[in-house]
Structure 1
Amino acid sequence: MKIFVPGRLCLFGEHSDWAGGYRRMNPQLKAGCTLLVGTNQGIFAEVKPHPDSLVLRTSTEQTLMPMEKQVLLTEAKNGGFFSYAAGVAYQLLTHFHVGGLEIDNYFTDLPIKKGLSSSAAICVLVARAFNQVYNLKMTQRGEMEFAYLGEITTPSRCGRMDQACAYGDRPITMIFDGTDTDIIELNTLQDLFFVIVDLGAAKNTQEILRKLNECYPFATTEVSANVQKYLGEISYKITQAAINALQKGDAEEIGFLMKQAQAEFDKYLIPACPQQLTAIVLHQLLNYQAIQPYIFGGKGVGSQGDGTAQFIVKDKESQQKVIEIIERDFPQMQCLPLTIYAKKES
């Protein structure tokens, strides 16, 4: 049985998943809202049952572990690549009568640790493999939930939006209101073309998250009040507008909203973590003149900082042109194409 799980790109609403979660302590905060889509790249695997062990094989290594709760939990707590599979297996073994599983990860074209939820993709793949091999009858939402529980069993502190890759290449919006999460599946009327760029620079995601979380649940300074304002009402409004534009297939409007989101992000959030969020490399690329004729707009990805950028471009030809220009003029950077395809009428 073959399974493919893509990565996850947050088009709009970064940080609002955990920020919206603080409503359980401060109801005056605004709910979080994100617009997400699966990448065209991902993790490919062939899976089959194993009588008593969890086996994970990649092109470079193989790990075998008995399907015993304490062994799996210990491995999950250790961290590292195999910990994600162990964490999901531990959660499923706790809640279901399942045997072992053999996973042959024979190909991966998803960049690792680049803000595209590669760890979440692994967790979703393992949850989906158990679901299909043992006929657990879980929905996509169920797979997503067990993938999340598995990942937070490891030292990783992901947000709930990371497992949106369970929905494949379909765009979705997620609303985060305290402990509640709502998922709405979306469609677009026109193909939309993007370029994702690994900036080849450095950022400290843990530092960004630490500084921004210090602004919650109650604002005690002007800086923390501004962080809450952006991650609340401003981000929510922009993301809702982007959802409407995506459903219409309006690439130009999405580009305008990307520029607006980045400008507001910079205004309200840079003062909270200037060392990481000033992001000189990101802004150099966003403003690079040679690509402007081919794009409608761009912004940072994930936690922001000098990690990854995204652009919405004018058409498929522009997509290739932007990739060629960036890889020619910034050889340290790597580009990935992303296309959100219009839903075909049945």
Structure 2
Amino acid sequence: MKSSFLAHGKVILIGEHSVVYGYDALALPIKSLHIKTTVEPAEQMWMDTAHYQGPFFMSPSEYDGLKYVVKTMLTKAASNETLKITYTGEIPIERGLGSSATVALSTTRAMNAYFKLKLTEKEIMEITNHAEMINHGKASGLDAATVNSDYLVFFNQKDGPKSLKVKLDATLLIMDTGELGSTKKAVSQVQDLIVNVPVVKENIKELGKLADETKSAWLKKDAEKVGSYFNRAQEILHSFSLSTAKIDHLQKIALANGALGFKLSGSGLGGIVIALCQNHEDAVKIADKCQKIATNSWIEEI
């Protein structure tokens, strides 16, 4: 007997960091990036990923969220069965693409099917979000909501996720800097700034407001305005020292070659960046000019 579940990645369009403090954010599911989790019987608890193959509970600390998911699901199933859990597909880790939320969700759903637990949607999301708290120290719930959605997600912690099915009729270029970000470190860095630098609290508030304005512009299909909000958000995130020399370099190239807007996506300190483009051709041109700096890129019609 074997159970599998496929979950996709995500990018945060706007509102990273401010969403942790109760403000709004917008995030987009990326269907082309996914991870499949397969659960099957084995002689011992075993994990098989591209980066680690070995006893499940002896895996490195970056898998602590997954260990929580597996222990919780075994407890709910009242089972001491030993399993092999295999992860296939590739979402680059620590880049802001939602890899930890994706594997937490797909593991929860695959084990739910394997043990025929029939958990509610709420229970599945609670387990996924708790795994995210373990992984990142403080998690808003945005990543889990977006990897669980087929549509653009407008999110805040109080109201939860709302789907937006309207298209902007533009193109999003996602580029991987190849630099590992650390959500835990970035979130802690911003927390310290809020305590010690008075203007940062206002900047966080403005980031939240920019997310609301982006939603309004999106619904009006005003890509140029959305691009301008991306650029202002990047200025704020840069002021938090979350950008890097490589991100700044990619920004210059993108904006010089017709991007409507550019920003880092996710926690920063590396990871991915996004460039909003008028059309597919502009995105291809920018990706081509950035290929010696970025390690990978993806183009999504939005």
137, 143, 146: which one aligns with 1:157: 137
CA distance in 1, matches of 2:246, 2:53: 37
Q: Match of 1:228? A: 201
35, 39, 44: which one aligns with 1:44: 35
Conserved? CA contact 1:89–1:150, under 8 Å: no
Matched, 1:107 2:89: yes
Q: Match of 2:165? A: 187
Moved more, 1-10 or 130-139: 130-139
CA distance in 1, matches of 2:219, 2:83: 39
Matched, 1:250 2:250: no
1:59 deviates by 5.0
Matched, 1:122 2:95: no
**CA RMSD, Structure 1 to Structure 2 (Å):** 3.0
Residue by residue, what CA displacement relative to the aligned partner does 1:62-111 show, whole Å, maximum 9, x if unpaired? 4355xxxxxx5xx58x5134x34322112223445455554332332x21
The normalised TM-score by structure 2 is 0.83
Q: Give the letter aligned to residue 5 of structure 1.
A: A
Where does the alignment leave 5 or more consecutive residues of structure 2 unmatched?
none
Residue by residue, what CA displacement relative to the aligned partner does 1:156-195 show, whole Å, maximum 9, x if unpaired? 425122323432442112212xxx4522111123444211
292, 297, 301: which one aligns with 1:336: 297
Q: Match of 1:87? A: 68
1:205 deviates by 5.1
Matched, 1:136 2:136: no
Conserved? CA contact 2:152–2:163, under 8 Å: yes
Tell me the SS of whatever aligns to 1:128. Answer: helix
Conserved? CA contact 2:45–2:84, under 8 Å: yes
Conserved? CA contact 1:262–1:299, under 8 Å: yes
Q: Give the letter aligned to residue 250 of structure 1.
A: D
Tell me the SS of whatever aligns to 2:285. Answer: helix
Q: Match of 1:16? A: 18
The normalised TM-score by structure 1 is 0.74
Q: Match of 1:323? A: 287
1:299 deviates by 0.8
CA distance in 1, matches of 2:151, 2:32: 13
243, 249, 264: which one aligns with 1:284: 249
1:61-80 equivalence runs, <5 A: 62-65=53-56, 75=58, 79-80=61-62
CA distance in 2, matches of 1:146, 1:86: 11
With over 3 angstroms needed to count, the CA separation of the structure-2 counterparts of 1:164 and 1:153, relative to structure 1, is same
With over 3 angstroms needed to count, the CA separation of the structure-2 counterparts of 1:314 and 1:85, relative to structure 1, is same
Tell me the SS of whatever aligns to 2:89. Answer: strand
Q: Give the letter aligned to residue 228 of structure 2.
A: F
Q: Give the letter aligned to residue 89 of structure 2.
A: F
Conserved? CA contact 1:36–1:173, under 8 Å: yes
Where does the alignment leave 5 or more consecutive residues of structure 1 unmatched?
21-30, 66-71, 271-275, 342-346
With over 3 angstroms needed to count, the CA separation of the structure-2 counterparts of 1:140 and 1:188, relative to structure 1, is farther
With over 3 angstroms needed to count, the CA separation of the structure-2 counterparts of 1:61 and 1:209, relative to structure 1, is closer
Q: Match of 2:276? A: 312
Percent of aligned positions that are identical:
20
CA distance in 2, matches of 1:84, 1:209: 17
1:287-306 equivalence runs, <5 A: 287-288=252-253, 292-306=256-270
Q: Give the letter aligned to residue 89 of structure 1.
A: V
1:34 deviates by 1.3
Q: Match of 1:24? A: none
Q: Give the letter aligned to residue 118 of structure 2.
A: K
With over 3 angstroms needed to count, the CA separation of the structure-2 counterparts of 1:203 and 1:258, relative to structure 1, is same
Conserved? CA contact 1:55–1:62, under 8 Å: yes
CA distance in 2, matches of 1:188, 1:53: 47
